[in-house]
Structure 1
Amino acid sequence: MKRKYCTTCHYPQSACICHAVKPTATVTDIIIMQHPSEVEHAKNTVRLLKLALPQTQIYVGETAADFAELQGYLAAQTRPVFIVYPNEHSQAASEVETDNKAIIVLIDGTWRKAYRMLQLNPWLLNYPSLHLECDDESQYVIRKAKRSDSLSTLEAAAYTLASLEPNADIAPIFAVFNAMVHHKLSAMPAAVRQRYNSDKLKG
């Protein structure tokens, strides 16, 4: 039997998280450059981010040609644009002074794929890059990461927002995120669930 999906959150009806969705808005705009392999991933947090923050713009691709429209859009902006990606030249998001009308661009993919996308899109070097100084570990306990400083795209977006726009309400973002994580954990067999540190979940 074909699975039925919620027409709002687009999760299976048995995993619907609409009860946790409370859309919010921010002055800072978020743009996601999403690797094609992430689009249909069951644990894709960009889908959740879009539910909580509908103004989020998502561009799917890998090469410069794929992102030609985005490149033109950003080039026409008068607002400051920042790429959220740690490197030797990146600045801590908490140290950036803006007028709360910035645009932040995040790359959604594994570290390897994100790095590959950066290499294929050298135009991104035209913009300053930011990194996060986050004391908290990722709450994305249902997806393993090779790096201890790994955050989901949703978490990185929320924490960057909190740094650039202190008055922004990021609680709705984590509410829908935690609803998905809690559901995934509750659906696991007890023996499997014990492998995950669910005590780190927010809220």
Structure 2
Amino acid sequence: MDPEREEGETHHLPIPTSPETHRRSICSNCRRPNSVCLCHALPAKPIPTTTRILILHHPQEAKHKLSTTPILTKSLLNATSITGRRLRRGKSPLLDHSPPAIYLFPSTTSSPAINISDFKLSELKRNGDDGLVLIAFDATWKHAKEMVKASEGYLSKFAVRVCLGMEDERVSGGSIYDSELILRKEPFGGCVSTMEAVARALRVLEPNGIEIEASLIGILKEMVRLQAGFLKPMNPRPKLLKMKKLKEVEECESSENG
């Protein structure tokens, strides 16, 4: 509802628009500003997958202009997103019947994760089950940890935690796969955007995963290319730089002692 129009009130004059409104006109298809419209990069038809993808979208992330979830759900036929801070019964019809599922998140001491390359679907499948559900959490690193912690009690009943297997808190942030894909500064090496994480996972899970991954990464690269002129330089965080320096010193000392 228009905040400037009360119910039953009629305006005879057009409501003035600010320069920002003109500057931020939005594409009706990809829902991105026209200046960075991605329609030309999207597949003519959403890509079909045997895996069903569900993304839990943090409310704050859902408002962020660099979120990759809207583009991901437009690119994949079987990808959907829901906004919230945790998964529970009744939140998604897709999960209510406890399908075989995996959720993407790095290992912690209390909650280890299986490297997705070592994951065996047959260990989850049961007679009459539908295909695999891949669950991802789209949020800042801090919020994602909170979302996973709040959801694990529910997910542990039917889902397995998996990771891409390349996260390293000792290394400064950024995509480990391709520096071209960095949209925002990540907290440590191995953290990637939701779209990249799903693309890397589908490479392993889908029969034609290499082609699907290439298509999604191509869209993401174009998104980054278009956005590049508007991004601020991403300086490494001091704490991460210190950790990286300590690691280099340790490796140097180890080499000398050896």
CA distance in structure 1 between the aligned counterparts of 2:184 and 2:221, rounded to whole angstroms: 13
Structure number with greater Rg is 2
| Highest RCO, 1 vs 2 (Cα 8 Å, sep ≥ 6) | 1
Q: Deviations over 1:145-199 (max 9, x none)?
A: 12112111111111011111241322221222111100111345xxx56979xxx
- Which residue of structure 2 aligns with residue 86 of structure 1? 106
Q: Deviations over 1:63-121 (max 9, x none)?
A: 456x6322x5314154x211111224211111122379311101111121111112222
Query: When the two structures are aligned, how many residues end up with a matched partner?
Result: 190
- Which residue of structure 2 aligns with residue 199 of structure 1? none
Alignment of 1:69-148 (within 5 A): 69-70=91-92, 73-78=94-99, 80-87=100-107, 88-98=111-121, 101-121=131-151, 122-126=153-157, 127-134=159-166, 136-137=177-178, 139-148=180-189
Distance 1:194-1:42 versus aligned 2 partners, 3 A rule: closer
- Which residue of structure 2 aligns with residue 157 of structure 1? 198
- Counterpart amino acid of residue 82 in structure 1: I
For the aligned residues, what is the CA RMSD?
2.5
Unaligned runs of 5+ in 2: 1-18, 123-129, 167-175, 237-258
- Does the Cα contact within 8 Å between 1:138 and 1:155 map onto a contact in 2? no
- Does the Cα contact within 8 Å between 1:21 and 1:175 map onto a contact in 2? no
Q: TM-score, normalised by structure 2?
A: 0.66
Distance 1:136-1:15 versus aligned 2 partners, 3 A rule: closer
Report the secondary structure of 1:144's partner residue. Answer: coil
- Which residue of structure 1 aligns with residue 57 of structure 2? 34
Once the two structures are aligned, what percentage of the paired residues are identical? 26
Question: Deviation above 4 Å: which 4+ runs of structure 1?
Answer: 192-196
